[in-house]
Structure 1
């Protein structure tokens, strides 16, 4: 019994000594300094930068106002990252030590320095323009039709196609597996005229001339039903252009060693066909610039910028409207920068394509149409190509684009308004964070962003807490809405001043 009491007393004494040591260490440890971003003189309808101090930040907000917050993720890749947003009363903020006040300045206006496009000269770029060419013998083409490895010859189908028409710039082949009359000769002749007289001249004026890889003076157009049953029958596309076909070193079946594009034999009508042809010929023109001016190994443009440029060639909205609406429905889930859509599992993802079109459209609108040709003719790729052409960091362009969408500046364009109205889309809808609500944890993918509306009651100031995933690189921007926007619908235009 006496031994038991001794053991208990010894254990209690050990616990007390350990606790005393822990308290001594804590009291000796310097207090953590909290970084508070303070906007001392809020200018209504002006954006302020809150990032630059790590993945987390705080900011005091004035009472009785509404704020719009844009949280952008600059991380490479398409992974999803978390960021939390919370409004608290000033007195309830954690006090782990002193506050270090950091002043937020209004974001400076972005002035782009747009260089003149460089001239590209190459014997391969001279298009052959003359009378209609004679028909040629049937020809074999190869197309990747599964979801298997692009470098595996077994994943390709062989297409035997007959030359049924030829114009001054194009030669049309029809897959032999099509039944007679499935695509009428009159439809094929109209296709040739549309490409010769409208699409190719217009696209070449934007991007530069098509190259003639196989020396026959014509761009090959292959009509095939295979495009209705790609990836084992799960995917249908209207058209396809592959850079491997334009490279002499890519032997069949991995490449066809000619300038060409595939078209689905189920051709759409009217404006949809014009948009489709413009998009695919734009891809062919962009590849032509790289094939003809390359130094060393051929380097494809990254998918996101390649698709953005091709979408800019489309004269109407049949190929874009649903993609824009998908992106605006939740921009946080659609990364902008994706170097390879297929390997990222985002091939033909509508939201990603809507993002890249709106971004490229904004960049062109901030400069002039010459930027399209310069991007197409550059030997650089992706972000580097964009930075070289614009003279601006990608980070600056990305933030300015986010803010143009968040304050409805970009979406106020009449053509976009017409598209959104026709689709019944309300446009970009901010998430709502009300005073006194619980912490909001948001998910944002790399090179995507989300928009949050903050509501502060009229009686007392609040502190905004933002805590982002430490593995990500963040951009935090905030704007105080005008008083006129209070009491209106959740979606109110901020009409922010130029940045």
Structure 2
């Protein structure tokens, strides 16, 4: 059966919009894609792709819907095997409904829904603020409810604005510049507080001094794991006037690291932490004091960064970390303080993108509902959306897969996974390739993460696909069937020469899909799941245009062609610090896109020199 007949039988997704029956002749843009829910029994799923579909794009998404755990998984392909046949892809009756993929809304909240609650009894700042103040700050690891883990930090008032006052730890007065203080006050008064007030309100004025308080201190990092970079936090207990010190400072306030420098990143961290205070204020005013689960609370605060619109510097590297290793990045993180999960960049990127996807496709009061319903976590999300988490998650992963091949899903207001985000070049989610050369791919899924796979099929042959996963993962398997092939290149980067200061690298490319393909961008970045780098130390590199042309003898490669780059150079210390992830973005003449990935691991250390002796035995 041809793909047009198949689409006519099952319906189609055209540019992400569900259509009953075949696409209208008036639909002119984009390829057709059908999505299937593959049945899973005892952790095992299998289906057959008939030979008449072997020249089409087939994507596979394997997800763990369990919220905790690591699960060994495997995908394998067998071409043209005899014997009992598994269900044919054409006969799978459970077609995924994706009507929520399209029609995104701007991320906005109707200010009328807030009323005057956020301004209730908030006095205007009057008189002169106090010049010195003591703050209880947790400086030791362990139970945050234990008073012994806190010290009293003496601080001096260093800056005052219309809505903000900034105190600096006495020990850090010499390192906090006037430019940092001016940035905090100007950004807060002119942009951050007014914009969030229009959308979700402002923070409750606990100490009734008319201003929001910021404390700058290097000591805020002391209680956290050694490899973690903590630039700021909000403590919900500070909004509780009934708690004694040191458990509460009884003030509307946040804590920022005194080592932060002026610039967009400082403004975005300020916006993020202030958003936590605003969101917690809404919970206390409208729903009562209840702690939101960390993964959702952080995603909501990152979403507020979008509302403020100052910078993506607190998000770009986190989004890229998720896209580079999607099977290691969890949307739901039940225990953020478990080793390896504290402040995980990939987890944060996954949770943010998932919530952003929901916000774009739901009504304007979505964010406000999340902090006023009196529920937390998945229950809160399902009540705010009216859709089961498993359905939301599947539709989100479908969007991720389609966007990662350059298909327009969601319209102009939708977050797109190909392109540039701040300092980072995004390459969509990383696909593993399963095909003739690699007929089996083993991987590990974390809870609420997904492995995205592209199936490279042998022309004119039927193919059996099997997925095996620990049943405790509660696996979810989705197949996407596209009408047109996308580029598929084998891509490698190797070290040609390793000097003490400079490493010489070469890239090798082989076209595998039988398509004439044009090179567009070559980019690389550190693997963020394994690096303790600070935000300022994270650098992403991109070559395109003339720079990319200087590496390759030609920018367009023919079907089956191979290409080796000219040598290019990187500082040797970049290779020794962490693995590097390389991406090569390509496009065919008819606009189909793809991204090829490879890893470059640090070279092994040189063996120690053996001592030599002139003595004979």
Q: Which has the higher contact order (CA 8 A, sep 6+)?
A: 1
The answer to which structure has the higher strand fraction is 2
Question: TM-score with structure 1 length normalisation?
Answer: 0.80
Q: Does residue 69 in structure 1 map to residue 57 in structure 2? A: no
Q: What does residue 217 of structure 2 align with? A: 224
Listed as ranges, the matches of 1:147-166 within 5 Å are: 147-166=141-160
Distance 1:428 1:82, change over 3 A: same
Q: Secondary structure at the match of 2:209?
A: coil
Post-superposition offset of 1:345: 4.7
Post-superposition offset of 1:40: 11
State the alpha-carbon separation in 1 of the partners of residues 180 and 165 from structure 2. 14
State the alpha-carbon separation in 2 of the partners of residues 414 and 243 from structure 1. 30
Q: What does residue 45 of structure 2 align with? A: 57
Post-superposition offset of 1:333: 0.3
Q: 1:330 aligns with which of 325, 350, 354?
A: 325
Post-superposition offset of 1:393: 0.8
Q: Secondary structure at the match of 2:367?
A: helix
Q: Which has the larger radius of gyration?
A: 1
State the alpha-carbon separation in 2 of the partners of residues 418 and 134 from structure 1. 49
State the alpha-carbon separation in 1 of the partners of residues 313 and 117 from structure 2. 36
Listed as ranges, the matches of 1:423-442 within 5 Å are: 423-435=424-436, 437-442=438-443
Q: What does residue 139 of structure 2 align with? A: 145
Q: 2:272 aligns with which of 274, 279, 288?
A: 279
Q: What does residue 298 of structure 2 align with? A: 307
Q: Does residue 48 in structure 1 map to residue 54 in structure 2? A: no
User: Any conservation in 2 of the 1:128–1:217 contact (CA below 8 Å)?
Assistant: yes
Distance 1:330 1:345, change over 3 A: closer
Distance 1:396 1:136, change over 3 A: same
State the alpha-carbon separation in 2 of the partners of residues 349 and 471 from structure 1. 23
* Unmatched 5+ stretches in structure 1: 1-37
Q: What does residue 283 of structure 2 align with? A: 290
Q: 2:245 aligns with which of 239, 249, 252?
A: 252
State the alpha-carbon separation in 1 of the partners of residues 192 and 83 from structure 2. 61
RMSD: 3.5
Distance 1:347 1:204, change over 3 A: farther
Q: 1:400 aligns with which of 395, 400, 412?
A: 395
Instruction: Tell me the alpha carbon deviations over residues 348-407 of structure 1, each in whole angstroms, 9 at most, x when there is no partner.
Output: 211011111111111111124432222233321111111111111111110011110111
State the alpha-carbon separation in 1 of the partners of residues 7 and 364 from structure 2. 38
Q: Secondary structure at the match of 1:313?
A: helix
State the alpha-carbon separation in 2 of the partners of residues 125 and 370 from structure 1. 19
Q: 2:258 aligns with which of 262, 265, 276?
A: 265
Q: What does residue 487 of structure 1 align with? A: 514
Q: 2:78 aligns with which of 84, 88, 96?
A: 88
Q: 1:212 aligns with which of 202, 205, 212?
A: 205
Q: What does residue 162 of structure 2 align with? A: 168
Instruction: Tell me the alpha carbon deviations over residues 328-353 of structure 1, each in whole angstroms, 9 at most, x when there is no partner.
Output: 00100011111442246522211011
State the alpha-carbon separation in 1 of the partners of residues 228 and 147 from structure 2. 20
Post-superposition offset of 1:278: 1.2
Instruction: Tell me the alpha carbon deviations over residues 29-81 of structure 1, each in whole angstroms, 9 at most, x when there is no partner.
Output: xxxxxxxxx9996865211110354421211102223411001110022x111
Question: TM-score with structure 2 length normalisation?
Answer: 0.66
User: Any conservation in 2 of the 1:134–1:166 contact (CA below 8 Å)?
Assistant: no
User: Any conservation in 2 of the 1:302–1:340 contact (CA below 8 Å)?
Assistant: no
* Unmatched 5+ stretches in structure 2: 1-5, 13-31, 487-512, 518-584, 594-617
User: Any conservation in 1 of the 2:283–2:290 contact (CA below 8 Å)?
Assistant: yes
Post-superposition offset of 1:151: 2.4
User: Any conservation in 1 of the 2:417–2:426 contact (CA below 8 Å)?
Assistant: no
Q: Secondary structure at the match of 1:269?
A: coil
Q: Secondary structure at the match of 1:83?
A: strand
Listed as ranges, the matches of 1:463-478 within 5 Å are: 463-478=464-479
State the alpha-carbon separation in 1 of the partners of residues 242 and 337 from structure 2. 22
Instruction: Tell me the alpha carbon deviations over residues 451-491 of structure 1, each in whole angstroms, 9 at most, x when there is no partner.
Output: 01112212321211112212121111111232343535797
User: Any conservation in 2 of the 1:82–1:468 contact (CA below 8 Å)?
Assistant: yes
State the alpha-carbon separation in 2 of the partners of residues 371 and 124 from structure 1. 17
Q: What does residue 130 of structure 1 align with? A: 124
Distance 1:129 1:199, change over 3 A: farther
Distance 1:205 1:133, change over 3 A: farther
Distance 1:259 1:345, change over 3 A: farther
Distance 1:468 1:234, change over 3 A: closer
Q: What does residue 240 of structure 1 align with? A: 233
State the alpha-carbon separation in 1 of the partners of residues 260 and 126 from structure 2. 23
State the alpha-carbon separation in 1 of the partners of residues 421 and 208 from structure 2. 45
Post-superposition offset of 1:415: 6.7
Distance 1:404 1:93, change over 3 A: farther
Distance 1:203 1:98, change over 3 A: closer
State the alpha-carbon separation in 2 of the partners of residues 169 and 313 from structure 1. 19
